Structure formats: structure tokens, C-alpha cells
Amino acid sequence: MTEISASNSTLKADVVIVGAGWVGAIMAKELTEAGLSVIVLERGPKRNTALEGAYPASIDELRGNFRHHLFQDLSKSTFTIRNHLSQQALPYRRAGAFLLGTGVGGAGLHWAGCHFRVIPEELHLKTYLEERYGKQAYRNGLIPPDMILQNFGVSYTDLEPFFTKAEKVFGTSGEAYTVKGKIVGKGNIFAPDRSENFPLPALRETYSGALFREGCQKAGFHPYTIPAANASKAYKNPYKCDMGACNFCGYCGGYNCYNYSKASPNVNIFPALYPSPLFHLIELAHVLHIDKSKDKKRATGVTFANLKTGKTQKVKAEIVILGAFSMNNVHLLQLSKIGEIYNPKTGKGTVGKNFHYQSLSTSRIFLDKETQINQFVGAGGSGVAIDDFTLPHLDTQKLGFIGGSALWVNQSGLRPIGAAVNHKPQAKRNWGHGFKESLKDMYQHSFEIDSHGNSLSYRNNCLDLDPTWKNAYGQPLLRMTFDWHSNDIKMNRYVTGKIPQIANQLNARKWKLNHLSAPFNTSDYKTTHLGGGAVMGDNPNISAVNPYLQSWELHNLFVIGASAFPHSITYNPTGLVAALAYWSAKAIKETYLKKPDPLCRD
């Protein structure tokens, strides 16, 4: 393989991968094991836990949460955002509603660690709803006319071995309910069956989690421990990468774990990749577009801006894999003129279609002043959840909405600056004695409950190229058109409305419920669970990639990530993204390499 150096304007490899997050790391490991040479291009810097994760600098809250050390420089490249098609979109220049990672590890470095699978019915949502409610669901208004329903094209049974593999690589802590049909623990009674138990036992519960469990049980619900990619004890994964036991320091989301306890590509995969002569990582490499053959039937590689030298370079490869953040995958497809950009007015086109968010609202309950919650304690995936109000367990026809939501307490650590800055007392003033007393009461005697659920896809929620704004490389920014719709708002209000039942069981003295409400705004953090735009499916007329994440248009291009989700799932997306990456890698190794052709026919 061509040596990696600034003097080489054109590099060569069997595979080029865009993005060094979870997808990039998984695909690089799987394909180098198959004997392929792999170049991974990462627009941000190389991040090393031993250096950047060194204590105590790694838990500097000002650097981490407020100066966004691990996040993208929005002055150079960002997205534009609007709520409606008739509006002028404006650039997202100040990190607010979502946080965009950059550098080796990507969002997999700054995430918190909640590591779920998927509710099986969500993978075939369209079929499930039509079988449950019949075609009249479209006529009677249960399914709104602007809602887009599609199946993923894969089943839970297809993906189960890959969920299991990802959990072993991540060092996931949890407690199963059934394994191979037998009850083995006190896990989620609604969860689908598993082939193996979690590799590590569940994390210890925080006090807030224990209280939430108690309240849910008394209210007649079914609490379980959230699966967490935070190691409950020392662990060596299948790649011989080591993790330390989590000490509940409270600095997970937005931070590089100094204790090597939180799963990340940097800790769990890259140490096994770096020694391989088949693997090369080029950091500070901003990919500009995907190159195509003259007949436009194959990808020939990518062109990137080398931010170290200021020069433009190419990587030629037999296989091109997009493994960037979901919206960046879509942006590259559109910049490269691969697939037809979705037009919401006509409904034609597949690239940019089915863009969605995650419905998430956070409420808070206050207990008596003798109860000390100790919210500074925390682990990113630590918590207790209930699935009683998720999709399969609700009569959505009676309730008048599609979807559902989990409720959970996820105490990841309430840090001091964030607690003070984000505290919004009922009093008008955010200073003085009254504010301090209110802040103290909130910090010591309350805890949060999240409603975390589906956000479905709608005709006018989409991604395209902005006609006005450009990035530092002269390219159009990706334009995000998004607003909350009444279906998701109804669902969120219904599930959030169950929180007082739990609070009353704990003799809470008060609570503050927060709900989704339109219009969507970027001022406050929601979540970084954005997806769709290059969705998977078995019909090329409505999907950009097939069930193996292979482009319908260029058979040697694979687009992997939450960009492939036709709609959001109830849970955090990382577990499903990892499983899809392993699923796609297996198809490439076992089928595509033997015969480089489309893996599915339309």
C-alpha cells in the first residue's frame, strides 16, 4: 500500500473509510482482519486517552461542557436550520440543541454510555401498524397524511448476534431477563430474548435510581437497570483492549474517560488497530466529496483537504465506506451527487428524506428535605427505566398517536457549573439569596426523570443543500428543516403525564413536568440523536441504501450510521448503529468480496 505522507497527492488502499467514530473503528477492524488494507480519514485531531484523558484536566467542566473541547468548530463548518420550508435557514453557530463531536472517537468519545438494543417492532414499524390496525389507520387519521412510515428491511433476529458482539466489544454492563428462552435475571421483562447475557454485571444503582425503582414498582410498572457501556468491573474485550471499573466520577457525557471505564472507539477498538500494518489513520483530513468512475457506476475513492498541509489529496479505493455522523453522511452524498436529493414538495428523491430527531423531555421531582440525592455521583449509563409506555404496550389507536417512550432516571452526574447555569427557579430572579436556596434545594433533594421516545418521520422534515451559506471550503452547508409534529407532542405529553403516579408513590412534595412543544429551537440542549437522510430498506424508490447499508446507486459504496434509520427508535441509537456496522461488515466479508455486485436486487 502507498505510504501515508504529505508528498503523496494520491493514496491507495483496498478500503477508505470516512470518519473515525464507532462505525469507522468497527469497519476498519473487521476489514483489516479480512486482510484488506484500510485508510480511515478523520477531519478532527487524533485523541489519545492517556494524554487528553489524563486526570485532573480531563474533568475540567469549563473546558468540557462550556468551551466544548471535544466538539466541532462551528465557525468552519456547520448546518443551517429552519422549522418550515418557507423560512430562510440560518447557520447553527453556537452549540445548543445537539453537540457535534470531532476528532478520533467522534460522538463515540463524548457520549455517555447508554447501550440499548432495539424494540423489535420498530424495525418493521409500517408492517406492524398495518397488521395491528389495518389500512383504515390511514383513513381514520391515526397515521397522519404527512407521516412517512417505512421498515428497516432487517429484523431483530437478523441483528441479534451483532448486538451480542457489540456488547462484548463495548464491555456493556447490564442484567438480562431471558437468555435462550430461560429467565435468568431481573432485567427488562419486555425485552426480546437474547443469545447471551451481558458481558458484565449491572452497575450499582445510584440513590435516585433506587428511589425511581421503588416508585415504579409501587405504581405497578416494571423497572429494570439501563444497559451501560460503563464497565462495572475490570474487563478485557475480545480485541484484548482493557477497561477499568467505573468509579461514578460524574464526568461521562462530553468527556474523555480518564479511568478507561466508558466504552469508546479510542479505548475499545483503536488500540487493537494501530499495530496493524494494514491500517492507516489520517487525522485532520476533511473529506470534500466521493469520487466516481466515468460511467458513474462505481465509487473510485474520495477527495479530502489535508488540514496539516493545506493541500487537496485523493484516496483511491475499491470500497468506500461513509461512517461519519449521520448528517455528515447525508451531506457527503449530496455534495457528491449520489442519489437524488429529496424534494418535500413532490416527494421524489431519497437522499435527505426521513430526517428525524428523538423526542426527549426532562422533568424533575422534589423529595423531602431530609432526603439527600448526591447528584454529583454518576455514570453515563447508570439508571433505571420502565418500558411500560413504549410502542407495543400502548393502544395507540385509542390514544390517538403512533409511537411510545421509555421513562427513566439516568444519573450521569450533575456538575456544579452546569447545575447553576441551567437552573431555572420559579422565582423571577436568577441571583441572590432566593436563587441560592432554590439551587441548593434542587441539587440536594431532587432528581430528573426523562421521557425518551420515538420521533417519527414526516414529509417536510428533511435535509438538503443550502442555497446561501457555505463552509470554509466553499461548499454549500447542509440545510436541516425540522419541527416537532402533533403526533410526537401528544405521545410525549401522555407518557410524561405518568410521572406524577411515580412521584406520589415516593411522597414527593412537588414536581415540574416538561413536555415537547413546537416550534423546535436550538437554544437548549435536547439530545444528539439525529438520524435519517440516507435510509435503509428493500425498495430503492424510497431508500438510499439496501438492508446491508450498500448504496443502491454505487454498489461499492456503503453508508453506515443512524443516517440509515427510517425513523428514530425509542432508545439511544448507538447500540443499533454498532449492530448494523457488524451486520454490514459480515456481508462485505462473506459475500461482497467474493462477488463485488449489489447485495440486493430491486
Q: Which residues neighbour 479 within 8 Å (Cβ) at sequence distance 6 or greater?
A: 79, 80, 81, 82, 89, 463, 464, 465, 466
Angle between helices 156-170 and 574-587 (to 10 degrees): 110
Residue closest to 444 by CA, chosen among 503, 372, 378: 372
Q: Determine which one of 68, 445, 529, 555 is catalytic.
A: 529
529 a catalytic residue: yes
* Structural contact between residues 6 and 311, judged by C-beta atoms closer than 8 angstroms: yes
304/503 Cα distance (integer angstroms): 54
494/391 Cα distance (integer angstroms): 13
CA 9 to chain CA mean position, Å: 34
Rounded alpha-carbon distances, angstroms, from residue 235 to 120, 228, 519 = 29, 14, 45
220/567 Cα distance (integer angstroms): 30
203/365 Cα distance (integer angstroms): 23
* 597 burial via Cβ count (<10 Å: 0-12, 13-18, 19+): exposed
* Structural contact between residues 453 and 390, judged by C-beta atoms closer than 8 angstroms: yes
CA 162 to chain CA mean position, Å: 17
Q: Which residues neighbour 56 within 8 Å (Cβ) at sequence distance 6 or greater?
A: none
Rounded alpha-carbon distances, angstroms, from residue 463 to 330, 484, 552 = 8, 15, 19
Which residue type is seen at 580? L
419/594 Cα distance (integer angstroms): 55
Torsions phi, psi for 348 (to 5 deg): -90, 155
Residue closest to 400 by CA, chosen among 496, 529, 490: 490
Is 76 strand, coil or helix? Answer: coil
Q: Which residues neighbour 295 within 8 Å (Cβ) at sequence distance 6 or greater?
A: none
568/457 Cα distance (integer angstroms): 8
585/4 Cα distance (integer angstroms): 25
Q: What is the CA radius of gyration of the chain?
A: 23
- The residues annotated as belonging to the active site are 529
